[in-house]
């Protein structure tokens, strides 16, 4: 029997509630499909920061390195500045473990209240391939002339040839297993160094995939297309920031932030990959027991898929679909009155 060692970091706010439910579903799927998950829980969070002065211990990365997977809730909560909490935990983990792909699949889930709910599932099947280790997310820069009328800040972006090429290549390889179509998010009309470089590498990589239809689109127009003509998109590749923004938009048009999973993937397998929902800690509903656990449950399915437990992963997705279709155990974001626990329990019971 396969036994996987998983590090769980519930984190902050609703990250804690949804992780409890997702673990329940994952354990039930494991029992049904003949493997087990050995969980180790880490209390790394804003609460820890407040008590101990750091989001995670100094050797945090080393503590996680030997796990088969990392299951993360959400990081960030009012009281600790976001750049402190995120750069103290989530972003360093993505970088240390070379999780340079942030994979964010979106599909129209049944029973959603999305503005596009009338569209067919095929029209709304997409995956955002987000660069996850460099780009606009950079600590390089600084504040100048503080307190003077000519005060300003510089925020640098870093795009390396290796970094851009590998994420674009990943998108093309993925497209070959899907529709054979890649759309690159650019903004080379406004950003005169980074995005022309991105476009140049996109064209170079595309030349090696004559079987894949390659297209680039300015990210502003791409955002509109995602709402008005989503059927024209399948694999969407973007920089760290563009991919971040587009993934919340994609989540919103397919059912909401409570439904969108995400995988921070280390493609070489040298380090653990990390799975989490696209959404954050939702301070506005934290502590109320009403967060939608579906995104975290589907992130769990992505983790099982990554571990090679494909059948169990599909069983979880089917169970989620069944519960959403039945429509009696929906959380308030989906128009229902169920709690996080009730929806999690319903998915657990629906597992085959």
Task: List the catalytic residues.
Answer: 137, 187, 220, 244, 248
Residues 6+ apart with CB under 8 A from 283: 13, 77, 78
Report if residue 8 touches ligand NAD, rule: CB under 6 A.
Answer: no
Residues in the interface with ligand NAD (CB under 6 A) total 23
Give just the sign of the alpha carbon dihedral 12, 13, 19, 24. Answer: positive
Per CB under 6 A, which region of 128-136, 161-169, 207-215, 277-285 contacts ligand NAD?
A: 277-285
Q: How far apart are CA 310 and CA 233, in angstroms?
A: 25
Q: Residue 180's binding partner, choosing from ligand IPM, Mn ion, ligand NAD, none, with beta-carbon cut-off 5 to 8 A by kind?
A: none
By CB under 6 A, residue 86 contacts ligand IPM: yes
291 forms part of the interface with ligand NAD (CB under 6 A): yes
**Contact between residue 350 and residue 324 where contact means Cβ atoms under 8 Å apart:** no
The closest of 170, 103, 130, 39 to 305, measured between CA atoms, is 103
> Bridge-partner residues for 131, per DSSP?
101
From the list ligand IPM, Mn ion, ligand NAD, none, partner contacted by residue 133 (C-beta under 5 to 8 A by kind): none
285 binds, among ligand IPM, ligand NAD, Mn ion, none (CB under 5 to 8 A by kind): ligand NAD
Beta carbon of residue 90, minimum distance to ligand IPM (angstroms, whole number): 6
Q: How far apart are CA 234 and CA 229, in angstroms?
A: 11
Q: How many CB atoms lie within 10 A of CB 271?
A: 18
CA dist 116 to 119, 124, 252, Å?
Answer: 6, 9, 9
How is residue 254 written in tokens? Answer: 């397919």
Q: Determine the straight-line distance between the first and last CA of the chain, rounded to whole angstroms.
A: 19
Given ligand IPM, ligand NAD, Mn ion, none, residue 295, with its beta carbon under 5 to 8 Å by kind, binds: ligand NAD
Residue 291 contact, options Mn ion, ligand IPM, ligand NAD, none, Cβ 5-8 Å cut-off depending on partner type: ligand NAD
Q: From residue 215 to residue 254, what is the string marking binding to Mn ion with x (rule CB under 5 A)? A: -----------------------------x----------
Question: Which residues of this chain interact with ligand IPM, rule CB under 6 A?
Answer: 76, 86, 90, 244, 278, 280
Residues that bind ligand NAD (CB under 6 A): 14, 18, 74-77, 82, 86, 90, 257-258, 276, 279-285, 291-292, 295, 333
């Amino acid at each position: 029997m396969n036994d996987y060692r998983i590090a769980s970091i519930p984190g902050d706010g609703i990250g804690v509630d949804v992780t409890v439910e997702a673990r329940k579903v994952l354990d039930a799927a494991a029992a049904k499909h003949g493997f087990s998950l050995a969980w180790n829980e880490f209390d790394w969070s804003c609460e820890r920061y407040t008590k101990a002065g750091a989001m995670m211990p100094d050797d945090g990365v080393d503590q996680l390195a030997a796990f088969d997977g990392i299951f993360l809730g959400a990081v960030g909560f009012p009281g600790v500045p976001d750049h402190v909490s995120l750069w103290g935990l989530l972003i360093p983990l993505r970088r240390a473990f070379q999780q340079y792909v942030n994979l964010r699949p979106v599909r129209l889930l049944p029973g959603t209240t999305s503005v596009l709910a009338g569209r067919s599932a095929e029209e709304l099947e997409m995956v955002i391939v987000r660069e996850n280790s460099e780009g606009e997310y950079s600590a390089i820069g600084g504040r100048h002339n503080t307190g003077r009328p000519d005060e300003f800040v510089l925020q640098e972006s870093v795009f390396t040839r290796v970094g851009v090429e590998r994420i674009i290549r990943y998108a093309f390889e993925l497209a070959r297993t899907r529709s054979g179509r890649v759309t690159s998010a650019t903004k080379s009309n406004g950003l005169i160094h980074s995005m022309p470089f991105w476009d140049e590498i996109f064209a170079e990589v595309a030349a090696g995939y004559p079987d894949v239809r390659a297209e680039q689109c300015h990210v502003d127009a791409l955002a509109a297309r995602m709402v008005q003509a989503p059927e024209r998109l399948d694999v969407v590749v973007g920089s760290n920031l563009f991919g971040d923004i587009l993934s919340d938009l994609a989540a919103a048009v397919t059912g909401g932030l409570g439904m969108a999973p995400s995988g921070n993937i280390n493609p070489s397998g040298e380090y653990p990959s990390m799975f989490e929902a696209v959404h954050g800690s939702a301070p506005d509903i934290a502590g109320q027991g009403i967060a939608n656990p579906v995104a975290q449950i589907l992130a769990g399915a992505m983790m099982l898929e990554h571990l090679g437990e494909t059948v169990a992963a599909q069983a979880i997705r089917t169970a989620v679909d069944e519960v959403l279709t039945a429509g009696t155990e929906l959380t308030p974001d989906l128009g229902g009155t169920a709690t996080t626990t009730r929806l999690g329990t319903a998915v657990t019971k629906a597992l085959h």
